[in-house]
A = this chain, B = another copy of it.
Amino acid sequence: MRIVILGGDGYLGWPTAMRFSNQGHEVHVVDDYLRRRSHREAGTDSLTPILPDLPSRAAAWREVTGREIGVTEGDLTDWDVIREVFTASRPDAVVHYGEMPSAPYSMKDRAHAVFTQTNNVIGTLNVLWAIRDLAPECHLVKLGTMGEYGTPDIDIEEGYIEIRHNGRADYLPFPKQPGSMYHLSKVHDSHNIHFACRVWGLRATDLHQGVVYGIQTEETHLDDRLATRFDYDDVFGTALNRFCVQAVIGHPLTVYGTGGQTRGYLNILDTLRCVELAVVHPAEFGELRVFNQFTESFSIMELAELVRKAGAAYGLDVEIRSVDNPRVELEEHYYNPAHTKLLDLGLRPHLLSAELVESMFSVIERFKDRVIQDHILPHDRWRPSR
């Protein structure tokens, strides 16, 4: 298959590109290094050293495996970039990770919020138009987020819910109550994609993904130069990855508020497998299919306790510290989202274990001198100071 990976320089994008390439697919990656630029502006960086750009990553991949990955360095909000990629590649599937992915980044101030929504919504609109006019058979596999749903007081279904009301019933999009300007941009995307499927007859799968953890995939193991990025800072770091870095460097685990916030999580290995399952089992034309892409739910405090326990076994003395929650979110809430559709397609989850956490410790230890300590605590607050 001809597969285009948008956001192919990212934490998940680059491993996904290598995976599909390793399986013999024709892979083309697109990225304009937004994440790298944002890190440079903030004075933060990936824990793992990564090659400086996509051409060098693709060159290393060629050296190690003999396989080619095509590269476009460009911005998805620039129609000329998208048009050229689609005209040249005529993809069978597009895997779309190519968005600004951070809630704290989007909440810094007005300009960051406007940038986040413009960048994500317009980039995705361009992709939809490109599929419509240049590759109408192409299956869009879009990375959404479980955060689109928020924390309603009922079970969360996969994208849609049957609503019975006043003696009638309909199967409708699940209501969305996202918690940041970033999460809102994903909700806007979901509505735009749904429209493109309903009205233009496109086909798409929206992967409402949970929080991803892990550092190694089958392909990153092959050579140090194939490493993916690993973020642990206050803006781009996510819960378990950050805790593991904090544990290794002797920083207290920073739990926001009570730590009762419960979310879905999955191993990076399962992300790659889920994306693969979506690509090889495409949606029907006219359908926006939604999969809730996570394997287990944990509260933040449960994760912190797990890391403390694994730390003790590993010889690390781990402290848990509650910090004033910079976000506006419920710290105690009901949370029971469905996630059976990917299991039905054949996903066999890599569940979270103390052993997995310890294996992350050992990778992190190799790079612990690279940790930038002054960007671990949260800087940006959701609520305006009055």
Contacts and interface: CB of A to CB of B under 8 A. Distances in A.
Nearest to A148: B191
Chain A interface category by residue count: 35 or more
A309 interface: no
Instruction: Quickly give the copy total for this chain.
Output: 2
Interface in A171-187: 172-181, 184, 187
Contact of A121 (B153, B176, B188): B188
Nearest to A194: B177
A166 to B, nearest CB: 5
Contact of A188 (B161, B172, B191, B198): B191
Q: Which of A114, A133, A157, A328 has the most CB of B within 10 A?
A: A114
A75 to B, nearest CB: 14
A121 B117 contact: yes
A315 interface: no
Given A155-B165, A328-B199, A110 B136 contact: no
A281 B122 CA distance: 36
A192 interface: yes
A40 B234 CA distance: 49
A334 interface: yes
A195 B178 contact: yes
A170 B152 contact: yes
A383 interface: yes
Contacts of A2: none
A166 B336 CA distance: 11
Contacts of A121: 117, 121, 188
B195 A132 contact: no
